[in-house]
Amino acid sequence: MISDITRAFYYSICRGLFEKDKLLYSFLNASSILRRSKEVDIDEWNFFLRGSLVDYTKNEQRVDYITLEHFYSLCGLEDCHINFKNLVRSFEDANDKVIWKSILTADDPHLIALPPIFEDRLTAF
């Protein structure tokens, strides 16, 4: 019943939206459902919305193929949730570096498997 009501509500709202706004509404609706069902952790969601509140500018960049800003974001992501533990170390690892570089340069990065440790830990979000 909840699924039917959600679907009917979604279609009713989408009829009144401009085409350019439908994708954003769909994302917000889906992410809200995933957060309520605990499939998206609140710490991950807060990092997605706000980034890290910690200053990582004192950290020395050890990854040469990403920008300094991206490196600081990786440090914040690593601290936001236990599933991202050792993310920076993975970017530094010679074996994982090949995978990360291919993901960063791919036209369809979502089709490339993550390094094994993160493939098992992370959700699609």
72 in any annotated domain: yes
Q: Write down the pLDDT at residue 96.
A: 93
In the chain, the number of structural domains is: 2
Asked if 71 and 114 sit in the same domain, the reply is yes
Range of the domain at 18: 1-39
| Tens-level pLDDT at each residue, the chain (125 residues) | 888 888 888 888 888 889 899 999 999 999 999 999 998 888 889 988 988 888 888 888 888 899 999 999 999 999 888 889 999 999 999 999 999 999 999 999 989 999 998 988 888 77
Asked if 32 and 57 sit in the same domain, the reply is no
Q: Write down the pLDDT at residue 15.
A: 86
Asked if 60 and 32 sit in the same domain, the reply is no
Asked if 111 and 66 sit in the same domain, the reply is yes
Asked if 74 and 16 sit in the same domain, the reply is no
24 in any annotated domain: yes
46 in any annotated domain: no
Q: Which residues contact 92 (CB under 8 A, 6 or more apart)?
A: 62, 63
